[in-house]
């Protein structure tokens, strides 16, 4: 999808006369812009992690370090957010949901590319036999199941269900899944911030905490607009 696929904020044709519709169309783009301002603090991070000659200023960490573990695990977590967003983009014509999905695709694909680039520059493997989140100090009792490798990740069954839905049902289910996904992502990013020795990677993780926390508020409001509650319903 390109930005041209969605109507520009503020230029949407009214499709219903429900009270508050016009008001919501005015505040929604502003709320999304605020969330994106926090999430898209990526270019500065790229610059701060690169020397004048263009080579990485990041010091290569150990393979089992929090730096390597966070980069690998968050890249996996981000990939599913991108996948979820591509699915819903094709399952609804709703402007706000499609715009949110498009922005999550751009932001998290960009961040994922940065983290995979660091792993490559460090001369480390993109895969490890260690359990996900083993690098965190806290004891995570989370058991991977049905494709859900870390907290917040959707299962294969939930992905299949999202693909089977369309319209409002797809919108609501996507928002519910993404809210839980962001909760897990924020927990992991904050866990790295608390352990970080690499300032560039720490700034990226903190931008994830800030951006996704803001976006969680936006998603919660979008669920309320659709008469739905947070929380993924049991299959």
* Tens-digit pLDDT profile for residues 149-208: 999 999 999 999 999 999 999 999 999 999 999 999 999 999 999 999 999 999 999 999
pLDDT at site 49: 46
Question: What are the sequence ranges of the domains in the chain?
Answer: 61-225
CA-atom Rg of the chain in angstroms: 18
Model confidence pLDDT, tens digit, residues 21-65: 333 443 444 444 444 444 444 444 443 444 333 334 467 999 999
CA 126, 130, 132, 133 torsion-angle sign: negative
Predicted model pTM? 0.77
Q: How far apart are CA 103 and CA 32, in angstroms?
A: 9
pLDDT at site 59: 74
Task: Point out which residues pair with 186 in neighbouring strands.
Answer: none
In three-state secondary structure terms, 62 is coil
Nearest by Cα to 189 from 95, 77, 104, 49 = 77
pLDDT at site 184: 96
Q: How far apart are CA 210 and CA 212, in angstroms?
A: 6
DSSP state of 122: T
pLDDT at site 186: 98
> CATH second-level architecture of 61-225?
Up-down Bundle (1.20)
């Amino acid at each position: 999808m390109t930005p041209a696929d969605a109507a520009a904020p503020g230029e949407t044709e009214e499709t219903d006369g429900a009270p508050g519709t016009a008001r919501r169309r005015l505040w929604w783009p502003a709320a999304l812009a605020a969330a994106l301002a926090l999430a898209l603090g990526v270019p500065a991070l790229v610059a701060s992690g690169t020397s004048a000659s263009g080579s990485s200023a990041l010091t290569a960490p150990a393979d089992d370090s929090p730096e390597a573990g966070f980069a690998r695990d968050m890249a996996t977590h981000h990939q599913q957010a991108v996948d979820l967003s591509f699915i819903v983009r094709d399952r609804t014509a709703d402007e706000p949901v499609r715009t949110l999905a498009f922005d999550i695709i751009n932001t998290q694909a960009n961040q994922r590319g940065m983290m995979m680039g660091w792993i490559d520059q460090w001369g480390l493997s993109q895969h490890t036999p260690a359990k996900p989140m083993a690098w965190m100090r806290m004891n995570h009792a989370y058991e991977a199941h049905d494709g859900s490798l870390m907290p917040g990740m959707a299962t294969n069954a939930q992905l299949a269900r999202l693909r089977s839905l369309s319209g409002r049902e797809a919108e609501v289910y996507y928002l519910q899944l993404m809210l839980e996904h962001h909760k897990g992502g924020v927990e992991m990013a904050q866990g790295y911030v608390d352990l970080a020795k690499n300032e560039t990677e720490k700034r990226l993780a903190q931008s994830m905490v800030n951006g996704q926390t803001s976006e969680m508020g936006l998603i919660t409001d979008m669920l309320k607009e659709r008469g739905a509650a947070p929380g993924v319903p049991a299959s």
